[in-house]
Amino acid sequence: MTQTLAHPANADIQSALEEARADFVRRNPKSQKLHEEACASLPGGNTRTVLFYGPFPVTMVKAAGANLWDADGRKYIDFLNEYTAGIYGHSHPVIRKAIDQALDEGINRGAHNQLEGKLASIIVARFPSIELVRFTNSGTEANLMAITVARHFTGRKKVMVFEGGYHGGVFTFADGNNPVNGPFDFVIAPYNDAAGTKKLIQENAKDLAVVAIEPMQGGGGCIAADESFLRMLREETQKVGALLLFDEVMTSRLSPGGIQAKYGITPDLTSLGKYIGGGMSFGAFGGRADIMSRFDPRRADALPHAGTFNNNILTMSAGVAGMTQLYTPEAATKLNAFGDRLRARLNAITKDKGLNMQFTGIGSMLCVHFARGEIKSSRDAKKGNKDLGELFFLDLLTRGIYIARRGMMALSLPLTDADGDALVAAVEEFVETRKRLLQ
């Protein structure tokens, strides 16, 4: 059920925001109650920081296809899709069938199974940089292992990352080196600044083990790296003997073979994430055979790599089904073309009116920014109006559209043209209703 707002308070952003917050509280009493109950045993009622927002988060109680339902009975079109992990939508019958079969055959085997090699072969065939691959339980673990093997392989200690970058729970760089980050010797470089980054690579050449980059920063606001910037990184890392790691946990969905295939730039290592495991708990890291063979247990000097559920049968089953039957190369091309068309339609709404609002991204990932001018880095993104971002989020909830509080969207296979039209209509209504605030 959607609801049209009256919007009497548009004289200024704060008045509009206060009204929207009050309306949100009135409409979501059951979510509020569930949040208050959770606060008794979870800090802030939360166990995953990105999902929290004030005055309290909506609690979703059901999901199917491209839709969600909240505790107060409202239905939403899901344009977030688990921050890219939910590319198949909710409870896709193909994924469900694979998981049901796995449950019937027993899941905690404590042994090799018949599917891990098959999923690995699919990944190796799909992504140009990956000659050998190992599985983990999350993108965070994948990046931890990839960085660790890079340091071991090169015999060096320093790890270059980028402002605004996100490589998992212990590798976050939105505001410099986060206190919860892993204790590595990080060099934090400016994203999309070729001259500044090249200088830092040269200054740290003797100690630099690896340069880790998202070819498009997802959590940072769907900010794409320039192709020329990525090529510079490839050239400069090779010159100084450092490895190049593409974190494609999110961006691997943006073409049949990820950004590396889209641009024809082959890193030494690649990390991957949950949609490749059918949307289950999953991560993977892979790359050149001479690097990844360090984990070969047949070697006397093999590196250990533990993880009870690295090859868990539920994920292996869902991953094989998803990658062979659903997110085929043809499906990847189609979904990303849909995303490019949708982003163009949204930007046409704001560009024609010269408003302080724009949508960035590539293919099936996009993010709204309330800022003018080109957005090439997190520094540019931080110039955006955060209050307008919150107002947009709350207004879209009222119209039955679910996105990330920070404005990010990730498309899924079950979304239809009609769903895209609904998003466009909601943005058009927001722009018309709030246009005085967007000037």
Q: Give me Rg for the CA atoms of the chain.
A: 22
Last residue of a domain, one of 272, 294, 326: 326
Q: Are residues 189 and 102 in the same domain?
A: yes
Residue 166 annotated among the catalytic residues of the structure? yes
Q: Are residues 40 and 134 in the same domain?
A: no
167 within some domain: yes
Closest by CA position to 349, among listed 262, 427, 433, 247: 427
- Write down the number of H helices and E strands in the chain: 14, 16
Q: Are residues 318 and 251 in the same domain?
A: yes
222 within some domain: yes
Question: What is the pLDDT at residue 337?
Answer: 98
Closest by CA position to 397, among listed 76, 32, 9, 111: 76
Intervals of the chain under pLDDT 50: 1-6, 8
**The CATH number of the domain where 137 resides is what?**
3.40.640.10
Residue of 76, 83, 166, 402 with catalytic role: 166
207 within some domain: yes
**The CATH number of the domain where 358 resides is what?**
3.90.1150.10
Q: How far apart are CA 268 and CA 241, in angstroms?
A: 11
Last residue of a domain, one of 309, 326, 343: 326
Q: How far apart are CA 335 and CA 415, in angstroms?
A: 9
Angular region, 198: left φ>0, alpha ψ -120 to 50, beta rest: alpha
What residue spans of 114-266 are helical by DSSP H? Answer: 116-126, 139-154, 194-203, 227-240, 258-263
Amino acid at 160: M
Q: Which domain holds residue 153?
A: 93-326
What residue spans of 327-412 are helical by DSSP H? Answer: 329-351, 378-381, 386-398
Torsion of CA 26, 29, 35, 38, to 10 degrees: 160
Closest by CA position to 245, among listed 190, 351, 360, 165: 165
Structure tokens at 147: 């960085």
Structure tokens at 80: 């977030």
Q: How far apart are CA 400 and CA 199, in angstroms?
A: 48
Question: What is the pLDDT at residue 1?
Answer: 45
Residue 247 annotated among the catalytic residues of the structure? yes
Angular region, 400: left φ>0, alpha ψ -120 to 50, beta rest: left
Q: Are residues 105 and 211 in the same domain?
A: yes
Residue 211 CB coordination number (10 Å): 29
The sign one gets for the Cα dihedral 20, 45, 279, 284 is: positive
Closest by CA position to 90, among listed 60, 59, 68, 64: 64
144 within some domain: yes
Q: How many domains does the chain have?
A: 2
| CB distance 122 to 324 below 8 Å | yes
Q: Can you tell me whether residue 292 is helix, strand or coil?
A: helix
| CB distance 380 to 373 below 8 Å | yes
| CB distance 66 to 415 below 8 Å | yes
7 within some domain: no
Last residue of a domain, one of 326, 343, 362: 326
Give, rounded to a whole angstrom, the gap between the first and last alpha carbons of the chain: 31
Q: Are residues 226 and 311 in the same domain?
A: yes
The string of pLDDT tens digits covering residues 252-296 is 999 999 999 999 999 999 999 999 999 999 999 999 999 999 999
Residue 207 annotated among the catalytic residues of the structure? no
Q: Are residues 301 and 389 in the same domain?
A: no
Residue of 70, 78, 247, 419 with catalytic role: 247
Task: Enumerate the β-bridge partners of residue 223.
Answer: 217
Q: How far apart are CA 114 and CA 94, in angstroms?
A: 19
Per DSSP, 18 falls in state H
1 within some domain: no
Q: Are residues 153 and 80 in the same domain?
A: no
3 within some domain: no
Q: How far apart are CA 191 and CA 411, in angstroms?
A: 25
Q: Element (H or E) spanning 25, and its range?
A: helix 13-27
Task: Enumerate the β-bridge partners of residue 210.
Answer: 159, 243
Structure tokens at 228: 């020329």
Question: What is the pLDDT at residue 10?
Answer: 66
Residue of 274, 275, 327, 380 with catalytic role: 274
Q: Are residues 42 and 188 in the same domain?
A: no
The string of pLDDT tens digits covering residues 50-67 is 999 999 999 999 999 999
The greatest distance separating any two alpha carbons of the chain, rounded to the nearest whole angstrom, comes to: 73
Q: Are residues 303 and 195 in the same domain?
A: yes
Cβ density class 121-149: b for 16+ within 10 Å, e for less: ebbeebbbbbebbbbbbbbbbbbbbbbbb
